[in-house]
Amino acid sequence: MNEKYEEAKKIAEKYNQEHLLNCYEKLDEENKEKLLDQILNINFEQISELYEKTKKTSNVIPGEGEVKAISYIDKDKISEDKLNEYRKKGKNVIKEGHYAVVTMAGGQGTRLGFNGPKGTYNLGDGIKKTLFEIISDTIKTAKVENEAITIPWYVMTSRENNADTVKFFKENNYFGLPESDVDFFIQGELPMVGKNGKILIDETGIVKEAADGHGGVFSAMYKDGIVEDMQKRGIEWVFIAGVDNILAKIVDPIATGIAIDKKVLATGKSVVKANAKEKVGVFCKKNNKPYVIEYSEITDEMAEMINGDGELIYGESHILCNLFNIKAIESMCKSTLPYHSAFKKAKYINEYGELVVPTEPNAFKFESFMFDAFERLDDMAILRVKREEEFAPIKNAEGVDSPETARRLYLDFMGKDYIGK
Ligand code: UTP
């Protein structure tokens, strides 16, 4: 056996993961190399710590700290003069080419159950466009509205969906955008771990890894040279959103103008929580820093607290639509965010070399959330926008937040003259 194998074996044994090499001899040369590289690169200390944490009743550690309401700006209540002032400030940034968009499209889209990258899902009926095309439409329209010379678009993919995503963009001629203004970067991954703490082997015989959550966006942007590219292009403001909110206003002069005016390095958009029990994360302040408190963290009492106007005190839902100054990204991208664990169904090869297709969740996946980065900022502006104008998410195949509900919201917003392809 070669030296690399011996080294990998030693490490695997040290961490009680020697089963990872059980099928080594049966692999072809390429996968042998891949497996050894994986083992040499895995941070086993980190994985065992994350696994140990899963044994505690809750993997969410709210931590110490005083939680209080965060102040926000309700877009609907801004005076016309002030709106124009913000718009002007933001428009200047966009017009001069200092604004970029990042779309996080590395998720697995398991709830939608579509076979392929979520961004390539076609909305059909009345719209007949894929999620990526809808985002490209938003960028193209914003370019015209803001007379922008360029609005670079960076798409975060995962190892699993990168090739299909890039191919889709090529086949669609980058939706008419200049190819030089579209770039892709691949997010990080972490091994999946079984209930017994053993790292899983996938169907091809190598370590089963899964995307490390949307919080991986900052470190991936750094590692893949995206931050550097932005610096070279003179980008100052970056809007980061998921791929699946088809009404996301990702080029937003007002959100930009507000951040500039308030001298903060980020603006987070919120929509009013539908009711105290809605399962969404809400903006708040923790230890005087911006924070998103998840629905699993918030007590019933806090969730139901109302102010003098009868509004929920913790009622500003986080919708994964946030604008960052490049300085904030530069400081956040060099370290990783904390990981949360989720218990999922994952196919794997067992110790007898057999494929196991579970019907129940069987493995831990570790993910970081982008909103965990907010507390690294001194402050951020929160801009409350209207659900019907900026929030039409596609999460489930049917029912709430499905293609059906998003299609309705999109068509209502676009107006009766909207014609799909
Ligand atoms: P969700 O958390 O809703 O996940 O992602 P999802 O992958 O779309 O769907 P499920 O949970 O598997 O059903 C919100 C946004 O963050 C992106 C997704 O692509 C989506 O745009 N995301 C999520 C990533 O880019 N990477 C990740 O690791 C996770």
Whole-Å CA distances, 68 to 65, 123, 291, 292, 322: 10, 40, 10, 11, 21
Percentage above 90 pLDDT, the chain: 91
* Positive/negative CA dihedral, 268, 273, 274, 278: positive
Enter the tokens of residue 84: 């124009």
Look at residue 371 in the predicted model and tell me its pLDDT. Answer: 97
Q: Is the pLDDT of residue 421 over 70?
A: no
Question: Which is the closest atom of ligand 1 to the Cα of 245?
Answer: 21
Closest by CA position to 368, among listed 9, 60, 4: 60
State if pTM tops 0.85.
Answer: yes
For 307-320, what is the mean pLDDT? 95
Please state the domain extents for the chain. Answer: 74-268+318-414
| Identity of the amino acid at 182 | V
Look at residue 57 in the predicted model and tell me its pLDDT. Answer: 60
Instruction: Tell me the backbone φ, ψ of residue 83, rounded to 5 degrees.
Output: -55, -45
Question: Which is the closest atom of ligand 1 to the Cα of 111?
Answer: 13
Look at residue 417 in the predicted model and tell me its pLDDT. Answer: 75
Cα separation, 248 vs 105, in Å, equals 14
Choose the residue to mutate in 102, 103, 104, 224 for probing ligand 1, maximizing ligand atoms within 8 Å of C-beta. 104
Distance 109 CA to ligand 1 centre (A): 6
Look at residue 420 in the predicted model and tell me its pLDDT. Answer: 67
Choose the residue to mutate in 154, 244, 292, 372 for probing ligand 1, maximizing ligand atoms within 8 Å of C-beta. 244
The residue whose CA is least distant from atom 5 of ligand 1 is: 107
Contact 345, 362 (CB under 8 A): yes
Distance 214 CA to ligand 1 centre (A): 7
For 252-266, what is the mean pLDDT? 98
Q: What is the pLDDT of residues 135-173, one digit of tens each?
A: 999 999 999 999 999 999 999 999 999 999 999 999 999
Q: What is the pLDDT of residues 318-331, one digit of tens each?
A: 999 999 999 999 99
Mean pLDDT, all residues of the chain: 95
Whole-Å CA distances, 266 to 24, 211, 223, 374: 48, 25, 22, 9
Q: Which CATH superfamily is domain 74-268+318-414 in?
A: Spore Coat Polysaccharide Biosynthesis Protein SpsA; Chain A (3.90.550.10)
Distance 89 CA to ligand 1 centre (A): 32
Binning pLDDT at 50, 70 and 90, where does residue 62 land? low
Contact 309, 21 (CB under 8 A): no
Q: Is the pLDDT of residue 60 over 50?
A: no
Provide residues with CB under 6 Å of ligand 1.
104-111, 118, 156, 187, 211, 213-214, 242-244, 320, 367, 395
Cα separation, 110 vs 117, in Å, equals 10
* Positive/negative CA dihedral, 25, 26, 28, 32: negative
Distance 347 CA to ligand 1 centre (A): 19
Look at residue 296 in the predicted model and tell me its pLDDT. Answer: 85
Question: Which is the closest atom of ligand 1 to the Cα of 367?
Answer: 28
Residues 6+ apart with CB under 8 A from 238: 99, 100, 101, 102, 230, 323, 324, 325, 326, 329
Q: Taking each helix axis as running N to C, give the angle between helix 80-95 and helix 253-262, from 0 to 180 degrees, rounded to the nearest 10.
A: 100
